Structure formats: C-alpha cells, structure tokens
Chains A and B, each alone.
Chain A
Amino acid sequence: MEDYDIVLGARGDRRLMATDYIQRMIPDFMEFHGDRLYGDDRAVIAGIGTIGGLPVTVIGIEKGKTTAERIRRNFGSAHPEGYRKALRLMKQAAKFRRPVLCIVDTAGAFCGVDAEEHGQGRAIADNLWEMADLPTPILSLIIGEGGSGGALALCHSDRIWMLEDAYFSVVSPESCANILWKSTEKAAEAAKSLGLTAEKLHRAGLVDRICHGDERKKLAAEIAAELTRLRAVPQADLLEARYRRFRSVGC
C-alpha cells in the first residue's frame, strides 16, 4: 500500500473512532466536561475509568460518525478549550497518581478566528510544557490521523503507539504539496517523502510500537500492562526518561 493510501484510509469514516476504543477498552468510562476557563470542546472526550483493572484518565479526540455527530465534534479538530480540558484532567490524574491514556485522531488543531484569539498556539504550548513534567505515566495511541501540532499536544508521552494504518505528520500531504509545489496533485509524492507511516516512524525510533490489526482485541490488556510497568518506575526516572526520549530526536 502506498503511503498516501494509508493517509486516505486513516481518514475513513468507517474506522473505529476514539469513542469506540473507549467503549471497548474502558467499559466503566465516566466523561467529564469543560476546561473551567471558557467552555467545553466536544472534539475532545475526557474522563476516568479503568483499563484492565487499572484506573486511568482518558483523553480522546473524537471525529464523530454521522454528519450530525461530526458537526457536533467539529470533525475532530479541537479548539484551545479542548486542549485545556485535556490539560486540566491530566493534572488531576497526576494528583491521584493515575496514568493517562491519550487516544489521538485528528486532522489538526482547529484553524479559525475564535481558536486563534483564544490562544490555540498557547494552548498547545502549555500542554507540551506541562506534559514534559507531569508526574504520572502517559501513553498516547494514534488510531487514525496524527495531524501536526494538534496531535502532538497529546503526544508528549512516555510511550507513543500507533495503529499500523494510522499516520503522524508535521503537515498534511495536501498542504505540503500545495506549499512546495503549488499542486495538491502531488500529495501522494509528499506523503511518501514526509515519512509519516507507523512503519517508517517506528523504524526511525520516533514511535515505540506498531499495533497490528489482529492484536486489537488484546490492546486494552497491553496498554494496562505497559502503564502498570511505567507506574512502578520512580517518578524522577520516569521524567528523566521522558526528557531523554524527546531530547534525542534529530541531530
């Protein structure tokens, strides 16, 4: 399969979405709303529950399946309020020494006047800043689209796992082709050059694990096992390892 086909497939509306994973893996999930600053962003679903018996805080970006749902979810593009809700609950997780699971599926952070004026850049920067020092394990799972800064805002983690048919990219292949070659028709070439597939990112050491289709049933147990392992690591070591993980990227 071509890299661009993976991108197109990752956008497919018949895929499992964040809520599907939450329902299957965290049957006792309780959703909590609001960023306590301005509003509640429906593109971000957040709350608590147990995964394989382990209490976790879950943050998911949800695109929605039906047209009505997609509109309500803003097609999975979060406003600053969504990132701030995520951050509020991540800090709460740290207070109770509860691991955090982020389920990422977004084309990118929302681009609009309100999003800008409510500080989209600042909201993402704050997540990176706080997650760098969040004293509890964080595992991010990319289930579809990992669109640039909007996805990265939930990926400053101890572990980044990707489904085999997901992608994670600095820019959408279409924008990349448009900016560099003034032609969206070269998107396939851009996709190939950007190195955005799970396989390529894993080979580059930027992603820790590829989750294959046939393993999905075991996914909850594996996430629980990994978070349990990480929870046993002394806090200072955990944060040092997280620092090193990103410190070593490039150069």
Chain B
Amino acid sequence: MDLRKLFLKANNEPEDSNPMVRSRYINCRGCGKKLSVARVRKNNFVCPECGRYMTVRARRRILMLTDKRSFTELDREMESRNILGFPEYEEKLAAAKEKSREREGVVCGTASIDGHRCAIFAMDANFMMGSMGSVVGEKITRLFEYATVRGLPVIGVTVSGGARMQEGMYSLLQMSKVSAAVRRHSNAGNLYVVLLTDPTTGGVDASFAMQGDITLAEPGARIGFAGPRVIEKSLKQALPKDFQRAERVLSCGFVDAIVPRSEQKAYLAKVLAIHEM
C-alpha cells in the first residue's frame, strides 16, 4: 500500500470512515498543525488554527446547510457507464466510488433550511474531482425539472474540475442540457442560489455555476474557466495575486457575496425567506 496516498487521504478527508484511515487527529494542509477531528468538525471543517477551508463531502455539505432530518434524496441509484468504452474509465469510477462513498459526483434532493423548503444539490470533489459526466448532468437537470414543477427554489453547491473527459461529447453537452433546465426553472419565476466552492472550473463554471439569480462563494475558492497552470504555461504570463480566487472574482463583478462557512445556512435561510414574501 502506498503510504503517501494513505497520508494524503487522511489529511484531505477528516471524516473518512475507512477503519484503515480513520484517525481522531488530522494534520491541516494549510498550517500542518495536528487537530482533533471533533474540533475540525465543530468548526465546519475550517482549520481552527489557520482558517483554511477543508474539502467537505457532498452529503456532509447538505447536512451542514439544511435542517436536521429534512433531506430526502432524489435519484440516488443512478450510476455512470462507460458509454464510449474509454480506456480505464471503469477503474476510475470504481476508485471514485470507494473514495467518495457515493455512486456519482453529485447528491440531489429536497430539504428545508430554517423551515424553508428547497431543492438542493451538492457536488463531490472526491468523485473524479467533481467532474460532470452524463449522470451528474442528468441528476442536476432532473432536480431543476422537479423544482420547476413544484415551484421550489434550488440551492446548488458547486465544486468541479469541469466536464468529464471520459464521456467525450456526452459530457460537454451536459452543459447545454443543464443550462436549458435552469432557464426553464427561471422562466417559471423560481429562485436559484449557487454557492461556488473550491474549485469551480471548466464546463461547470461555464454553465450552471454562472447562472444563479444569486451567486455566493466560499472565501478563497478558486473560480474560473481555465486552470491557472494552463494559462501560465501557454502564455508565460505572471498571474496576478489572488487570480481566480473568490475575493478577486467578486471585485471583477462575477460574485454577489462571499459567505463564510459558519454563516452560510443563516444566509441562505434569509434569502429564501425574502423570496417567500
């Protein structure tokens, strides 16, 4: 077993339940300090020492934003297949399932936030970097269609490296599919609030991440179309400080507000309440 991998995994995922990896302590990737998992969890997975935002799994994210026991999942059973016969895709899917303990890279359903009903989706960075394949696109599309029929607002938490290469054009066209469903939801007068988390890039950034009525971001989140390495490499251009970080994206005019993790639930509740008046 690759020890380095084990170490990284333990660092990355404080709530991992794999008995091999599970530890009551983790090291923050920001400051390197040893922290108890309980303390990190209590602090919404923000390092209590250095303030670094740690990756949060989709299911945990929904629990953090919604009322206790209010979440009902939709389309949980859906799984990807290797539609193009792409090399090594099945292995990657299997590894992603194990790592994320999810069947695919997005969790969708309905819930309430301080009593306000909504539809909600959260993407999962542990599933192939939150990449969007056909199932991710289909689940989000279905959620918007479900919310349109019932007049529910949608809360979306994005994290994604972009479209999933292994599904070729089927992935790319999910951008169109989801966008069209978001548009219909909007045409019916419904609210869509998107919370951009680190990182939201590529095809997700260039579609439903940028189509919210209200666009929120987590502090420090990377938000952009192209990866910074691509830009640096291809242009040999020095990047500005905070390039593609939420704070700079806000000053460029593409984010409404940056909301710290500890305030997100209350913030969403307030937005939902105003839209119910």
List A residues at the B interface (Cβ < 8 Å).
109, 111-113, 115-122, 124-126, 128-129, 132-133, 148-149, 152-153, 155-156, 168-171, 176, 179-180, 189, 193-196, 201, 204, 206, 242-243, 246-247, 249-251
Task: Check if B100 is an interface residue, CB within 8 A of chain A.
Answer: no
Q: Are B138 and A194 in contact (CB under 8 A)?
A: no
Q: Which residues of A contact B175 (CB under 8 A)?
A: 128, 149, 152
Task: Check if B183 is an interface residue, CB within 8 A of chain A.
Answer: yes
In the complex, A121 Cα to B253 Cα: how many Å? 13
Q: Are B173 and A246 in contact (CB under 8 A)?
A: yes
Given B173, B183, B254, which contacts A250 in the complex, CB threshold below 8 Å? B173
Decide yes or no: A156 and B165 within 8 Å by CB, A125-B209, A149-B202 being known contacts.
no
**What's the A-B contact tally at a CB cutoff of 8 Å?**
171
Q: Which residues of B contact A113 (CB under 8 A)?
A: 231, 235, 237, 239-240, 243
Main SS at interface, chain A: helix
CB pairs A–B below 8 angstroms (11 shown): A111-B231, A111-B235, A112-B226, A125-B207, A148-B203, A149-B163, A149-B206, A194-B86, A194-B165, A195-B84, A250-B135
Give the B interface residue count (CB, 8 A). 61
In the complex, A232 Cα to B147 Cα: how many Å? 32
Closest to A180 in B: B165
Q: How far is the CB of B190 from chain A (nearest CB, A)?
A: 15
- For the complex with contacts A121-B224, A170-B168, A250-B135, 20 further pairs of A-B residues with Cβ separation under 8 Å are A113-B239, A116-B225, A116-B244, A119-B210, A121-B210, A122-B254, A128-B179, A129-B211, A133-B183, A149-B175, A149-B202, A149-B225, A155-B176, A170-B164, A170-B167, A170-B171, A195-B168, A204-B169, A247-B180, A250-B170
Given B85, B174, B223, B230, which contacts A111 in the complex, CB threshold below 8 Å? B230
Q: Are B234 and A122 in contact (CB under 8 A)?
A: no
In the complex, A109 Cα to B172 Cα: how many Å? 14
Q: How far is the CB of A196 from chain B (nearest CB, A)?
A: 7
Q: Which residues of A contact B177 (CB under 8 A)?
A: 246-247, 249-250
In the complex, A111 Cα to B233 Cα: how many Å? 10
In the complex, A148 Cα to B169 Cα: how many Å? 8
Decide yes or no: A120 and B87 within 8 Å by CB, A179-B165, A206-B169, A251-B78 being known contacts.
no
Given A116, A194, A251, which contacts B226 in the complex, CB threshold below 8 Å? A116
In the A-B complex, the 7 residue pairs with the closest CB atoms: A250-B134, A111-B226, A121-B205, A125-B210, A128-B179, A124-B206, A251-B138
In the complex, A221 Cα to B147 Cα: how many Å? 43
Q: Which residues of B contact A115 (CB under 8 A)?
A: 225-226
Closest to B179 in A: A128
Q: Which residues of B contact A155 (CB under 8 A)?
A: 176
Q: Are A109 and B225 in contact (CB under 8 A)?
A: yes
Q: Are B182 and A168 in contact (CB under 8 A)?
A: no
In the complex, A148 Cα to B237 Cα: how many Å? 23
Q: How far is the CB of A187 from chain B (nearest CB, A)?
A: 13
Q: Are A196 and B169 in contact (CB under 8 A)?
A: yes
Q: How far is the CB of A82 from chain B (nearest CB, A)?
A: 14
Given B174, B240, B248, B254, which contacts A249 in the complex, CB threshold below 8 Å? B174
1/0 per position for B192-223, CB-CB distance to A under 8 A?
Answer: 00000000011101111111000000000001
